[in-house]
Each structure stands twice: as C-alpha cells, then as structure tokens.
Amino acid sequence: MQRDHRPYWMHRFWERCENAWTRHFLAPHFAALGIEPKIVRPWHVEIFGPNITAGERLHIVANKADPVRLTVWSPQTQSGRISLGDHVFIAGGTRILAAGQIEIGDDCLIANKATISDCDWHSIHDRVDPAPAWKPVRLGRNVWVGDGAFIGKGVTIGDHSVIGARAVVTRDVEPWTIVAGNPARIVKRIDPDTPMKTRSDLYTDAPGLERFFDAAYREALKGNSTPGWLRSRLWPRRGD
C-alpha cells in the first residue's frame, strides 16, 4: 500500500476504538497509568505482573508481528517493579523484563525490538533457581535506545545518552554519551551546551499539538471515501 485510503471518519473511529481498548482492557493491568496514553494497537501490548507504572502520555506502537511486553516476574518474597516516566515512547517488539527494579526516565525513546532486563534469569550452575539474582537497571532522562539493543542487569544509563542499534550494554553509560557495539563502547560525546529538544517539548501546548495532528490527518486523507477505501482493499490497483 503506497498511501492511506481511509476516509477521515474512519481514522477518528479507529483512534477512539484504540483509546477505548486501552482504558477498558489495558489500563487496569498497570498499577498506575498517567493521563492521555497513546497506544497504537493496544491489543498487542502485554502487561504481566505487579507494580508496573507509567507517567503522563505514554506512547506505544505495537503490532501483531512485534508485540510489546512489560513483565515483572519475581517471587512473593521480593517485589519487582517497572517504572516508566512521563512522555516515554516504546516501539514494537520491545521487551522490558524485571525481577527486581527497572526505571525508565522521562522522555526516553526505545526503538524496535530492544530488550531491557535486570536479571539473567538463570545462573550458570543453577538453571532452575526460582529467585535468580538481579541488579537494578536505570535509564536517565531522554535516553534513546536504538533498534535491537540489549541493556542488561545492573546498568545505569545517564541522561541524554544514545545506545546504538544492536548494542549490548553491560556496563554503566555516562550522561551525554553515544555507545555502540558488542560489548558497547563509547563512540562519541554529545555536546551538553547545544540545546536539546525532548518529547516533553511536544506537550508544552498539548491542545495545539492535537489540533496540528488533526489538521494534518484531515489534509492527508482529504478526498478519500468509504467506497474508495473498500475498492483499495478488495481490488487493489498499481499505485494504491
């Protein structure tokens, strides 16, 4: 499909269905969920375990091939938790797995198929231990985690840092740093004196942002019709 054939009313109806699903089926599984979450295809988001919280305007983009999984798996003697800050973005295929504690700071961006885990889940010599050792994981504010990256137990990543695609991070990352590779190593320092825009900046005028996106969709879908959408689905032509 080369373009979106949906009429505007169908786009709005789809959004309302996603929001209703999020409120009815997904939100009750969070211990706390902030205002105005935007979950794309929320039926492909799996929330399992206690003490999973998220701040304002959580944005998740999931799909059937790449579900998003937030999992706390810990024995009753220890209370594991996952904490997501405000304005966090999570792409499809991401897995966040906590036996103890994982904290994701405000404005973090987590790309497709990233994995964050505070536990190895089995030790080398005891692979049936019901309570394997864990070490807390913390991502500071505005951390960008690239496609397919892995962040392991005990790691702290400083504010505004970038984790390269497919990187394997097993040691702390300083603030304002770009790391890449397996194992991850420093490849560049970010200039802290250059102004940094974050996802929080998007919401300084939240009603204005909503109007902007609504106008953009109206323009992009202008001229589309319900019969035209049906035709594109049932009898596609070259150029659709």
Per-residue b or e along 58-94, where b marks 16 or more CB atoms closer than 10 Å to that residue's CB: bbbbbeeeebbbbbbebeeeeebbbbbbbbbbbbbbb
Cα–Cα distance measured from residue 233 to residue 231, given in angstroms and rounded to the nearest whole number: 5
Q: Is 150 left (phi over 0), alpha (psi -120 to 50) or beta?
A: beta
What is the identity of the amino acid at 185? Answer: R
CB 165, CB 149: distance < 8 Å: yes
Phi, psi at residue 176, to the nearest 5°? 55, 45
Residue with tokens 């979450």: 37
Cα–Cα distance measured from residue 169 to residue 154, given in angstroms and rounded to the nearest whole number: 10
CB 171, CB 186: distance < 8 Å: no
Element (H, E) at 207: helix 206-220
Set 11, 24, 44, 122: catalytic member: 122
Quick check: is 122 catalytic? Answer: yes
Which residue numbers are catalytic?
A: 122
